[in-house]
Amino acid sequence: MGLLIVVDPSSGVPVYRQLMDQIKFHIASGLLGPGDELPSTRALSSELGVNPMTISKAYSYLEKENVVERRPGRPLIVRDLTGEAMTDQRMKQLRESLTAPVRMALQLEIDREEALKLFREMIDTSEEDADERR
Amino acid sequence: MGLLIVVDPSSGVPVYRQLMDQIKFHIASGLLGPGDELPSTRALSSELGVNPMTISKAYSYLEKENVVERRPGRPLIVRDLTGEAMTDQRMKQLRESLTAPVRMALQLEIDREEALKLFREMIDTSEEDADERR
DNA sequence: AGAGGTGAATCAGTTTCGTAATACACTATA
DNA sequence: TATAGTGTATTACGAAACTGATTCACCTCT
């Protein structure tokens, strides 16, 4: 059967981004592991009622982000992100994503410890949520 | 003389957003304090070569974020963000801005401690940079 | 070689976003 | 009240984003 993917075209969030998010989440949750094949563009397309090109676009971006490996004429497979070689790149991504909050904390004159406390708290609760789903 | 504001229309970042960022930064750095008047839309407009409506749009968003106070027919003034009443709201803003990094850390399976360490490090260096400018 | 599978390049249609031109409402000051 | 300052609502237009239809290139297996 198909992957647990649901899209809501009227949510405001672009469909291709919803796809990316859910696939990445399934990788993080362990449901998809290194070497696993992603569903074909046509299969997902008919299952979700979404145009194949929209699926393809999501896959392309995932490939650009090195989450997935493309093999011409064959289904995409999940890359192994746990290797040492990948660590730098993952941290670099996280760093980029943190620049906005860091700037905001400075702008709002929020105390260093307060900001760290909030971040720690948010990480912990999100990890608990993920655990419950396993 | 005018505020130290520079915009680059070809940077990809919307002009109104560049304005917001720089004004917020000037508030954080202490150059703009509570009660200070912002430059008039027309003054900034001619100084930067930007349409007055673009300035106004930036001002409107700043007002929505409670950074600035609007007074019909009079220049906008900087609000006092240090009060106790504002703290909750500022933390709420930071929390929103942190949701993306939190989700990313989970998706990338980045260790909790690693993520916290990076955040702490980034906050510290950004505070140093700000200090140097004072 | 042929059939049936894979993903993607190209192009078009629609919507959203950022910017700008105009005209209006308000306030301070004379 | 008259004038000159303030910000902005309305509207329009160009660019970019998102989705979709068609067509192509590639691989696997018989």
Residue A92 in 3-state DSSP?
A: helix
Note whether A16 and A61 are within 8 A (CB). Answer: yes
Quote the pLDDT of residue B84.
75
Answer CATH for B15-78 from 1.10.3720.10, 1.10.730.10, 1.10.10.10, 3.30.470.20: 1.10.10.10
User: Could you report the predicted ipTM of this complex, rounded to two decimals?
Assistant: 0.79
pLDDT of residue B134: 60
Residue B1 in this model has a pLDDT that exceeds 60: no
Q: Tell me whether A107 touches chain B (CB under 8 Å).
A: yes
State which nucleotides on strand C lie below 7 Å from a protein beta carbon: 5-10, 17-23, 25-28
pLDDT band at B133 (very low <50, low <70, confident <90, very high): low
Q: Beta-carbon neighbour count of residue B55 at 10 Å?
A: 23
Q: In chain B, which residues have their Cβ closer than 8 Å to the Cβ of A124?
A: 112
A86 touches chain B (CB under 8 A): no
More confident position, B87 or A47: A47
Give the pLDDT band (50/70/90) at residue B7: very high
Taking 50 as the pLDDT cut, the residues of chain A under it are none
For residue range B71-83, list pLDDT tens digits in order. 999 999 999 988 8
Domain boundaries, given as residue ranges, for chain B: 15-78, 84-133
Give the angle subtended at the CA of B128 by the CAs of B127 and B134, to the nearest 5°. 90
What pLDDT sits at residue A45?
A: 95
Residue A11: CB partners within 8 Å, gap ≥ 6? Answer: A18
Confidence at residue A88, expressed as pLDDT on a 0 to 100 scale: 85
pLDDT number for residue A2:
62
